[in-house]
Amino acid sequence: MNVRLTAPGEAPAMPATRTIATPNAAVEFGRVTKTFGDVTAIEDVSLRVPAGEFTVLIGPSGCGKSTLLSLAAGLEAPTEGFVTAHGREVTGPSRDTALIFQQHNLFPWMTTEANVAYGLRSRGMARREALARARELLAMVGLSDFSKKPPTALSGGMRQRVALVRAFATEPTLLLMDEPFGALDHQTRKIMQAYLLSTWRDSGATVVMVTHDLDEALMLADRLVLFTGQPGRIAETLDIAAPRPRSRDDPGLREIGARLERHLAAAAEAAEFTEAERARLASR
């Protein structure tokens, strides 16, 4: 049994035995609710992210996935419940946590190497040393020639690669990614996924990634967490044990994919149309 499914009814909380069995959670959300004004972004979410695993959060837009990342990063505080990282409550941004967004967010006023060196400099490394290390890291991803260039001189895929290198430069134990490849074309995205997997395996970091892309989720995840909106709740958690590199033709993955597809389609429809509109569409 490589693929373990949790029945939809079993969610949202993980089974108690599992909770005890994995004390080495990199991130834990305990009955977290987060509201922004009148809007409840996520409601009563409990989730353990085991250390060293690749967890993918997937669900319709507006289901609070990104909010969960902000909470784990310490950029937001939960309205109710608690968030811990490595057993300690998250109270603010941590040096062990790195963030990657859909936009690469490289600083255009710095050279590529200065961007990569930024986190090292923030940690008190001397300028020359940090830049030398940055060049080393860029060389490892084949971007030596671009270290002195501004990010504007790079292609979309290269920029996102530099953003990954910048995030990994400080050797974070937790990497939070918010649709990191959403802005890339299909081919570049596949290349970046392969690159991410190899970097992640070497680093031993815990990855939590938010994506809309079901295919991406199936290719990358050790564990898939399916959300419903709005407010965001966990609908289902499932482990995918198929070894990597995975094939899109794997029948087990395809079966999960088809089922998740139906779930996401229903959730998207629920988010896009009102009750009345759905009734009207159905009556036609």
Partner 1 sequence: MTAQAATTHAAPADAAPEATAPPPPRRAAAPPPLSRRLARRFATPLSFVFAWAVLLGLWELGAAAGWFSDRILPPPSQTIPFLLAGEATVGFGTQRTGLMEAISVTLVRISVGLVLGLVAAIGVAFLILQVKLLRALVLPIVQSIAPISPVAWVPFAIAIVGIGDPAAIFVVFMAIFGSMCCAAVAAFDSVPQEYRKVARSLGAGTAEMWRTVLLPAAAPSLMTMVRMSFFAAWMAVLAGEMAGINSGLGYLIIMGQQMYNMKLVMVGIIAIGVVGFALDRLLLVAQRRIVWWEDAQ
**Footprint of partner 1 (CB under 8 A):** 1-3, 5, 70, 73, 75, 93-95, 97-99, 101, 103, 105, 107-110, 118-119, 122-123, 142-143, 145-146, 149-150, 152-155, 157-158, 161, 166, 170, 187, 190-191, 193-195, 198, 219, 240-243, 245-253, 255
Q: How far is the CB of 161 from partner 1 (least distance, A)?
A: 8
Q: How far is the CB of 31 from partner 1 (least distance, A)?
A: 25
Q: Name which of 241 and 281 has its Cβ closer to partner 1.
A: 241
Q: Name which of 121 and 212 has its Cβ closer to partner 1.
A: 121
Tell me how crowded residue 141 is: count the other CB atoms within 10 A of its CB.
16
Q: How far is the CB of 84 from partner 1 (least distance, A)?
A: 17
- Nearest CA to 27 out of 253, 168, 208, 231 is that of 208
Q: How far is the CB of 99 from partner 1 (least distance, A)?
A: 4
- Give the C-alpha separation, 174 to 42, whole Å: 21
Q: Name which of 3 and 51 has its Cβ closer to partner 1.
A: 3
Q: How far is the CB of 120 from partner 1 (least distance, A)?
A: 9
Q: Name which of 44 and 154 has its Cβ closer to partner 1.
A: 154
- Nearest CA to 102 out of 135, 74, 66, 50 is that of 66
Q: How far is the CB of 275 from partner 1 (least distance, A)?
A: 34
Phi, then psi, of 277 in degrees rounded to 5: -65, -40
Q: Name which of 13 and 197 has its Cβ closer to partner 1.
A: 197
Q: Name which of 193 and 230 has its Cβ closer to partner 1.
A: 193
